[in-house]
Amino acid sequence: MNTLNRVVLLSSFFVIASCGGGGGGGGSEDPYTPPTPSNSAPTITNTVFNISVEENQTSAFTISASDSDGDTLTYSLSGTDSALMSVSSSGVVTFNSAPDFENPSDSNSDNVYEVTATVSDGSLTDSESFMVTVTNDTSDDVTTEGFDGTLVAAGPVQGATICIQVEAGNCTGAQYTTSTSQDGTFSLTVDSGTTGVLRGEGGFDPVTNLQFGEGDSLALGQPVTDQSLVISAISQLMNEDNSTDYDSFKTKLGIDPSFMIRFDNPFSNLDNAANNKAAVINTQLVVLGEVLEEIHTVNTGSRGNRVADAIIGRSTTETSLGDTTFIKDLLTNYDTEFTPSSQQLIDLSSGISAYMQKINANSTNSHSHFLQVGVSELKTLMSAVMDGTASSTELDKLVFNTIDWINDDTSWSGGTIADNESNLNAMNYTLSNAGSVNYLVDNVDPSNTEFIIYVKEGDVIKFEASTALQSGHPFKMSTVQNATSTDSGQIGTAEGWNQDTMTLTVSSSTPETLYPYCDFHSGMYLEGKIVKVSSYTQANIDITSSTDALQVKGTVATGPFKGASGYTYKVYLNSQGGSEHTHTFHEYPGLTFYMPADQGYHGSETSSTDTPFKAKSHYVTTGDDSISDDY
């Protein structure tokens, strides 16, 4: 160190030392430390934390914050619904997508979005919880309306699901659903303008507790909101073939033109003829559909479409769904994969048609029991036909004694069955008189002609006469030929004779031979009689006098149209030269009838203009023998 530097250092030392405290200063102090600058945390200054905003906009709220140090602030969001929002560098919070009040996207879907807002100056933070309530914008509200109505099968269906279908044929994935009440009624609320197929699925019949599966459904196309609707098997048929108008279906089914398929509940008033007819058809369609499903599975299309096509495709005026010809044709053309043998086809068509013909609807709810037996025992027996286990005895009982089969061989619990084909056992005979000389029966004079009417048990014979004839020439029955009022052979109700209606109901109590007579005048029915038989002898029936075509009331007993029940047209009592096929009828055992090839009709519901066949010994070649037989 040079001398100069030493002098400077010493001088500095003394100067510093002399600047200490006052006075005699020999003491020392801590060296000076500059103060560290202080940092205050930012503060969220919002005063309202529950915020309401209207739907359909992205604005939410703004985070207000301050910092006493003037630091640059940053904002962030966290919490339950934070992923649905964003915050800008200035604290403006917005929805990523405009919220929809009708379809909330917050975590618990209550339209209250919960977030925590945080402000930071880089080292210190402040946080507050915000709740943003989304309110409704009424300008975009969806207007609702309702489809109201009733679901019916064989009467109301309870506990069924009603929907606007999304998937064809069922209610899977449907947005709008409801269920039916005990009386089958429903009310389905939908958005205004909603269209589609209204479907009823599942449920049960409250009368019989018959359960319908999820696959059992009925539909109605073209529903409207301004009337009470009816979903039924008939409306389902229309839905299967929506290319055909309602009037065409009603014509083909024999439904009254005034009956409205979409709006009239057929079971609401079964005393009304139009309703009753539609109710029977409805039950028949459900039974037919269930049986068809049992005997063959359709792989393409639907069984309902096949039934609809068969109905619309009829080439005759016949409307009965129980018509054997219709059932036979339906089964024959049902599906290319359905190939029953000839005998199976006969057994199926006769069995199904026989049961369908007996279905009727009345206020005692028997129609529900017809449905229950149809979808259980009938379906089981027809399935047995297909697998070869059906008993021929049981099949014949079903076809020819259907009510006995129902009562004896099924779980029927619907009470006494009204036979809606009782007229097939009834035959009317005109009765007039030529003064006190003789009666005329179907224009035959029984006073000098051995005129015989043949009957068997179950037959009903009614003599049609004027009141004047009955008062002037009382027509009675006796076991004594050419009886008088003093004879003891007169019969009455115990033997099946109703004097008031002049009707003979043949039973086991009816004598084997009866002689009609006039209570006032002898000889008016001298040569005539009524003979009870168990079968008929062809030689005893007049097969020559009536050469025109006849119609036969009864059930075809043999052949491909076995079971055809009703009126069979264009039949003859004698051969037509070999260009015909023969028929036998269950009601006329022992008799053979002839029908020209490809002519006539088997088992129609309604009579034709052909002369009615009667088991009698004489026809007339002149005069009117085409009397009414709708007894």
Report CA-CA distances (Å) from 58 to 55, 129, 270.
8, 19, 61
Would 470 be classed as within a structural domain?
yes
Would 67 be classed as within a structural domain?
yes
pLDDT interval class at 19 (50, 70, 90): very low
> What pLDDT sits at residue 107?
95
CA gap 379, 355 in Å, rounded:
11
Q: Are 356 and 565 in contact (CB under 8 A)?
A: no
> What pLDDT sits at residue 544?
82
Q: Which residue, 375, 373, 366, 368, is CA-closest to 216?
A: 375
CA gap 307, 112 in Å, rounded:
55
My answer on whether 78 and 51 are in the same domain is yes
> What pLDDT sits at residue 500?
93
Q: Are 358 and 402 in contact (CB under 8 A)?
A: yes
My answer on whether 384 and 276 are in the same domain is yes
Would 465 be classed as within a structural domain?
yes
Report CA-CA distances (Å) from 625 to 229, 524, 591, 607.
49, 20, 21, 14
Q: Which of 395, 417, 439 is the last residue of a domain?
A: 417
> What pLDDT sits at residue 374?
97
DSSP 167-197: STTS-TT-SSEEE--TTSEEEEEEETT--S-
Across the range 331-357, mean pLDDT stands at: 96
My answer on whether 456 and 602 are in the same domain is no
CA gap 559, 582 in Å, rounded:
9
287 burial level (CB within 10 Å; 0-12, 13-18, 19+): buried
> What pLDDT sits at residue 31?
67
CA gap 505, 50 in Å, rounded:
91
**Per-residue pLDDT tens digits for 181-205:** 999 999 999 988 888 999 999 999 9
User: Residue 64: how many CB atoms within 10 A of its CB?
Assistant: 14
pLDDT interval class at 568 (50, 70, 90): very high
- Return the higher-pLDDT residue of 457 and 488: 457
Q: pTM of the full predicted structure?
A: 0.75
My answer on whether 392 and 406 are in the same domain is yes
User: In which region does residue 576 sit, left (phi positive, over 0), alpha (psi from -120 to 50) or beta (all else)?
Assistant: alpha
Across the range 488-492, mean pLDDT stands at: 92
Q: For residue 569, which amino acid is it?
A: Y
**With 60 as the cut, is the pLDDT of residue 357 above it?**
yes
Would 323 be classed as within a structural domain?
yes
CA gap 497, 148 in Å, rounded:
54
Could you give the maximum distance between any two Cα atoms of the chain, in Å?
A: 190
My answer on whether 402 and 349 are in the same domain is yes
> What pLDDT sits at residue 547?
65
My answer on whether 116 and 157 are in the same domain is no
> What pLDDT sits at residue 574?
87
Helix residue spans in 109-224 (DSSP H): none
My answer on whether 266 and 335 are in the same domain is yes
User: Cα-Cα-Cα-Cα dihedral of 257, 263, 266, 268, to 10°?
Assistant: -130
CA gap 322, 438 in Å, rounded:
44
> What pLDDT sits at residue 22?
43
Residue written as tokens 């229309």?
238
**Per-residue pLDDT tens digits for 57-100:** 999 999 999 999 999 999 999 999 999 999 999 999 999 999 99
Give the chain's domain count.
Answer: 5
Query: Token pair for residue 334?
Result: 């049902």
* 3-state SS assignment for residue 7: helix
Q: For residue 67, which amino acid is it?
A: D
**With 90 as the cut, is the pLDDT of residue 17 above it?**
no
How many Å from the N-terminal Cα to the C-terminal Cα in the chain? 156
User: In which region does residue 435 sit, left (phi positive, over 0), alpha (psi from -120 to 50) or beta (all else)?
Assistant: left
My answer on whether 264 and 293 are in the same domain is yes
My answer on whether 223 and 367 are in the same domain is no
My answer on whether 131 and 147 are in the same domain is no
| Long-range CB contacts for residues 572-576, cutoff 8 Å, separation at least 24 | 572/547, 572/596, 573/541, 573/542, 573/543, 573/546, 573/613, 574/543, 574/544
Q: Which residue, 587, 631, 582, 595, is CA-closest to 423?
A: 631
pLDDT interval class at 6 (50, 70, 90): very low
As a three-state string, the secondary structure of 259-293 is CCCCCCCHHHCCCCHHHHHHHHHHHHHHHHHHHHH
Q: Which of 498, 532, 566 is the last residue of a domain?
A: 532
Q: Which of 123, 138, 153 is the last residue of a domain?
A: 138
Q: What is the CATH number of the domain that holds 126?
A: 2.60.40.60
Report CA-CA distances (Å) from 549 to 256, 427, 428, 483, 574.
31, 18, 19, 37, 10
Q: Are 317 and 253 in contact (CB under 8 A)?
A: no
Would 8 be classed as within a structural domain?
no
Q: What is the CATH number of the domain that holds 204?
A: 2.60.40
Query: Which of 10-14, 237-241, 370-374 has the highest mean predicted lDDT (pLDDT)?
Result: 370-374
User: Residue 349: how many CB atoms within 10 A of its CB?
Assistant: 27
Return the exposure string of 449-469: e unless at least 16 CB atoms fall within 10 Å of the residue's CB, then b.
Answer: bebbbbbbeebbbbbebeeeb
Would 523 be classed as within a structural domain?
yes
Query: Token pair for residue 294?
Result: 């049992």
CB contact set of 165 (below 8 Å; sequence gap of 6+): 171, 174, 196, 197, 198, 199, 219
My answer on whether 579 and 599 are in the same domain is yes
pLDDT interval class at 571 (50, 70, 90): very high
My answer on whether 440 and 526 are in the same domain is yes
Domain that residue 55 falls in: 43-138
What mean pLDDT is reported for the chain? 89
Would 239 be classed as within a structural domain?
no
Would 5 be classed as within a structural domain?
no
Q: Which residue, 432, 407, 427, is CA-closest to 417?
A: 407
> What pLDDT sits at residue 513?
98
**With 50 as the cut, is the pLDDT of residue 631 above it?**
no
CA gap 54, 376 in Å, rounded:
59
